[in-house]
C-alpha cells in the first residue's frame, strides 16, 4: 500500500467524519449539557463544538427553567464557529422548528394544540404554542366578549389552529372554537337529560322585549313573554330580573337546533277552567281596562282572564266614537258578561248594560204631552234634532214645526245651537226614537174648541164663499163646509145662498187636534133635528107631515 493511497484513504475518512460530525448550519442538532454557569447552559453538540444558551430559553412562559447537567437537548445550530471559537446555538429556534413541524401536523389533522396566552397586542393576544408564537384575535377569546382577560394569562389551555403560514411565520388560533365545541357537547348532554313536560329550575340570564333566556345548567332555553303568566304581560321585566332563579316547564325541545322552549304559566292552574263558574252570563263584575283598540276595549276580570267590550256595547248614546274617548287604560269599570266561549278563550262584555237604557228612563219620566227644552244639535232635510237629558236626541219632523207654514219654510227659522221648546209626542225605546212637536205647543185651538165635542151644535160666522163650499170661523179657528154638507136638500146645496158675515148653526162631526180642524155640517144638523122632532111629536108614519110637526115644535118654543 503506497503512502500516497493510504493518505487518500485517510483524507476520505477524515472528510467522512467531518460530514458526519459537522452538522449543517441552520439545522437542529442534539447536544449534551456539560455545565451550567452564569445563567447559561454550556452544551456539547459533538465534533468538539460547544455553545452557550441562556437558561430562560429552557423555561415555559411564567415557569422556572427545567435543565440539568447531563440532559440531552435539541438546539438550532446557527453558526459553526464564532469569534470565540464557539458554536452559536439556540434552544428557542430549535423549539420553534420542532413546534412548527408539530403544529403543521396538528393543523392538517384538525387537532387541538396546547398553549398559553402571554402577551397583549393590538386586536388580540399572543400565544406560546410550545416554541411557536401565534396570534389570538380578541373575538376568538371567548363565546361572549371578555372584558378582562387577566385571569386567562399564562394558563396552559387548548387552542384550535385557524390559519398557518410557515413562510411568513403566521399562526392564528382560537380559544372560542373549543369552548363552543365543549358547550355543544354540554348542551347535548343537558338536552339528553331533559324531556318535554319536565319542571326544572333555571337562572334568568338575559331579558329582551319578547322574553327571557334561562340557563338550565349549561344550556339556555327561551321563555317567551306569552308563556310567563296567564295574564297580559307588557314587558318581561315586570315579572323577572336577571340572576333570579325561576321554576319553568320544558314545553318543547327541538333536537335539530337544540332550541328549548320554556313556560312558567304552565305550572299554574289555567284560570279559563273556572271562567264559566266564576263569571256566569248576565252577571256584573268590576274589571280593569288593559288595552284599547279601534274596535273596543279589553278588560281584565282576573289575572289571565280578559274580555272584550266591543265598541257597540260601550255606550247607549255615543255611537261612532273611538273607545278611547269612553274609557282609559287602567281604569276600573263595571261590565256585564254577555257571552263566554271557553274553546276560543273569549268573553264578550258589555259596558252599557250596567247602566239603564236612557230611552227607557226618558219614556218613564216624559209621557206624551210632556214639555221639554233642548239645543238644536243638527238640522236635516226631514227635521230638527234636539238634545235632551240623558245624552239622547229627540226629533221634530218637518210636519211638526208649524201649523200655518210648510215645514221646509218653517225650518229656515232655526239654527244649530238654538234652544227650542217642544212637547213629547212619542217614545219608541226599541228603535231609540223620540218624536217631538213644536207646533203642539200652540194650544190656542184647544182653548178655542175646549168645550166643543162631536155632536155639539155651534154657531159659526161665514168668512168666505167658494165654489166648493163656504169657509167659516169659530172662536178664531177656521173650518170649511163642503157643498154636500150645506143642506140635506140637494136644491139648497148652493154656496151662494150664504153671505160673508152670516151666522149659521152647524153640527160638529169631528174635532181633529192634529190638523186643528173642526168637521162641520148643516146637513147633519137638519137630520138630527128631524130625528128629535119625530121622537117628541109622534112618528112620521102617524100621518102628520113634517111641516105640522115642526110648526107645533116652533109654537111650543114660543
DSSP result, 487-505: -SSGGG--GGG--TT-EEE
Q: Are 545 and 538 in contact (CB under 8 A)?
A: no
Residues 385, 395: Cα–Cα separation, whole Å: 5
Count CB neighbours of 359 within 10 A: 20
Contacts of 536 (CB under 8 A, 6+ apart): 553
Nearest to 426 by CA among 511, 355, 514, 353: 514
Nearest to 160 by CA among 107, 100, 104, 97: 107
Sign, CA dihedral 12-14-17-23, equals negative
Residues 109, 433: Cα–Cα separation, whole Å: 91
Residues 511, 453: Cα–Cα separation, whole Å: 7
The pLDDT, as a whole number, for residue 229 is 82
Burial class (CB in 10 A: 0-12, 13-18, 19+), 414: middle
Count CB neighbours of 180 within 10 A: 15
The pLDDT, as a whole number, for residue 289 is 92
The alpha carbon of 159 is separated from its chain's Cα centroid by a whole number of angstroms, namely: 49
The pLDDT, as a whole number, for residue 558 is 46
The pLDDT, as a whole number, for residue 185 is 74
Say which DSSP state 95 is in.
H
Q: In the numeric block, which cell numbers belong to residue 371?
A: 214639555
The pLDDT, as a whole number, for residue 551 is 60
3-class SS of residue 139: helix
Where would I find the H helices in 290-383? 358-365
| pLDDT, tens only, 373-397 | 888 888 888 888 998 887 888 998 8
Q: Residues of the chain whose pLDDT is less than 70? A: 1-6, 10-28, 35, 38-39, 45-48, 53-71, 74, 76-92, 94, 442-451, 513-516, 538-558
Q: Please, what is the Cα angle at 527 between 525 and 531, to 5 degrees? A: 115
Q: In the numeric block, which cell numbers belong to residue 540?
A: 112620521
Contacts of 329 (CB under 8 A, 6+ apart): 289, 290, 291, 292
The pLDDT, as a whole number, for residue 349 is 92
For the whole prediction, is pTM greater than 0.75?
A: no
Residues 484, 469: Cα–Cα separation, whole Å: 8
Give the Å distances, CA to CA, from 449 to 10, 454, 506: 170, 11, 14
| pLDDT, tens only, 436-475 | 888 777 666 665 666 677 777 888 888 888 888 888 888 7
Starting at the edge strand found earlier in the chain, the sheet holding 457-466 runs 477-482, 469-474, 457-466, 503-512, 517-521
DSSP secondary structure string for all residues of 391-458: TEEEEEEGGGT-SSS-HHHHGGG--TT-EEEEEEEEEETTTTEEEEESGGG--HHHHHTTT--TT-EE
Q: Are 140 and 177 in contact (CB under 8 A)?
A: yes
Amino acid at each position: 500500500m503506497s503512502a500516497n493511497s493510504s493518505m487518500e484513504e485517510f483524507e476520505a475518512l477524515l472528510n467522512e467524519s467531518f460530514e458526519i460530525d459537522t452538522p449543517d448550519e441552520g439545522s437542529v442538532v442534539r447536544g449534551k449539557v456539560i455545565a451550567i454557569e452564569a445563567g447559561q447552559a454550556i452544551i456539547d453538540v459533538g465534533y468538539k463544538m460547544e455553545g452557550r444558551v441562556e437558561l430562560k430559553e429552557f423555561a415555559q412562559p411564567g415557569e422556572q427553567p427545567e435543565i440539568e447537567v447531563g440532559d440531552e437537548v435539541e438546539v438550532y445550530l446557527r453558526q459553526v464557529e464564532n469569534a470565540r471559537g464557539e458554536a452559536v446555538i439556540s434552544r428557542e429556534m430549535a423549539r420553534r422548528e420542532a413546534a412548527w413541524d408539530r403544529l403543521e401536523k396538528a393543523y392538517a389533522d384538525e387537532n387541538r394544540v396546547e398553549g398559553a396566552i402571554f402577551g397583549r397586542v393590538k386586536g388580540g393576544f399572543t400565544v406560546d404554542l410550545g416554541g411557536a408564537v401565534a396570534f389570538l384575535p380578541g373575538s376568538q377569546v371567548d363565546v361572549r366578549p371578555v372584558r378582562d382577560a387577566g385571569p386567562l394569562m399564562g394558563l396552559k389551555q387548548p387552542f384550535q389552529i385557524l390559519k398557518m403560514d410557515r413562510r411568513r411565520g403566521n399562526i392564528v388560533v382560537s380559544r372560542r372554537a373549543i369552548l363552543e365545541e365543549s358547550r355543544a357537547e354540554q348542551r347535548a348532554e343537558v338536552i339528553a337529560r331533559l324531556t318535554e313536560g319536565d319542571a326544572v329550575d333555571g337562572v334568568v340570564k338575559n331579558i329582551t322585549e319578547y322574553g327571557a333566556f334561562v340557563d338550565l345548567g349549561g344550556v339556555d332555553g327561551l321563555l317567551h313573554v306569552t308563556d310567563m303568566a296567564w295574564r297580559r304581560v307588557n314587558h318581561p321585566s315586570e315579572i323577572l330580573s336577571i340572576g333570579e332563579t325561576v321554576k319553568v316547564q320544558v314545553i318543547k325541545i327541538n333536537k335539530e337546533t337544540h332550541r328549548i322552549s320554556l313556560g312558567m304559566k304552565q305550572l299554574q292552574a289555567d284560570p279559563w277552567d273556572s271562567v264559566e263558574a266564576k263569571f256566569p252570563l248576565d252577571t256584573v263584575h268590576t274589571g280593569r281596562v288593559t288595552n284599547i283598540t279601534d274596535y273596543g276595549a279589553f278588560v281584565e276580570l282576573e289575572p289571565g282572564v280578559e274580555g272584550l267590550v266591543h265598541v257597540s256595547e260601550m255606550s247607549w248614546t255615543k255611537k261612532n266614537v273611538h273607545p278611547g274617548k269612553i274609557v282609559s287604560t287602567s281604569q276600573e269599570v263595571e261590565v256585564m258578561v254577555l257571552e263566554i266561549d271557553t274553546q276560543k278563550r273569549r268573553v264578550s262584555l258589555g259596558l252599557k248594560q250596567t247602566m239603564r237604557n236612557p230611552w227607557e228612563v226618558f219614556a218613564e219620566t216624559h209621557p206624551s204631552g210632556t214639555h221639554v227644552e233642548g239645543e238644536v244639535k243638527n238640522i236635516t232635510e226631514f227635521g230638527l234634532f234636539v238634545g235632551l237629558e240623558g245624552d239622547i236626541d229627540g226629533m221634530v219632523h218637518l210636519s211638526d214645526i208649524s201649523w200655518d207654514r210648510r215645514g221646509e219654510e218653517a225650518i229656515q227659522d232655526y239654527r244649530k245651537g238654538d234652544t227650542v221648546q217642544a212637547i213629547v209626542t212619542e217614545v219608541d225605546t226599541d228603535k231609540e226614537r223620540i218624536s217631538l212637536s213644536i207646533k203642539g205647543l200652540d194650544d190656542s185651538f184647544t182653548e178655542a174648541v175646549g168645550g166643543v165635542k162631536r155632536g155639539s151644535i155651534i154657531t159659526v160666522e161665514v168668512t168666505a164663499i167658494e165654489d166648493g163650499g163656504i169657509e167659516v170661523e169659530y172662536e178664531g179657528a177656521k173650518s170649511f163646509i163642503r157643498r154636500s154638507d150645506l143642506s140635506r136638500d140637494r136644491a139648497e146645496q148652493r154656496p151662494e145662498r150664504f153671505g160673508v158675515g152670516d151666522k149659521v148653526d152647524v153640527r160638529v162631526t169631528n174635532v181633529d187636534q192634529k190638523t186643528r180642524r173642526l168637521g162641520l155640517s148643516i146637513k147633519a144638523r137638519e137630520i138630527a133635528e128631524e130625528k128629535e122632532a119625530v121622537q117628541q111629536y109622534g112618528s112620521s108614519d102617524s100621518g102628520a107631515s113634517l111641516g105640522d110637526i115642526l110648526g107645533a115644535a116652533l109654537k111650543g118654543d114660543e
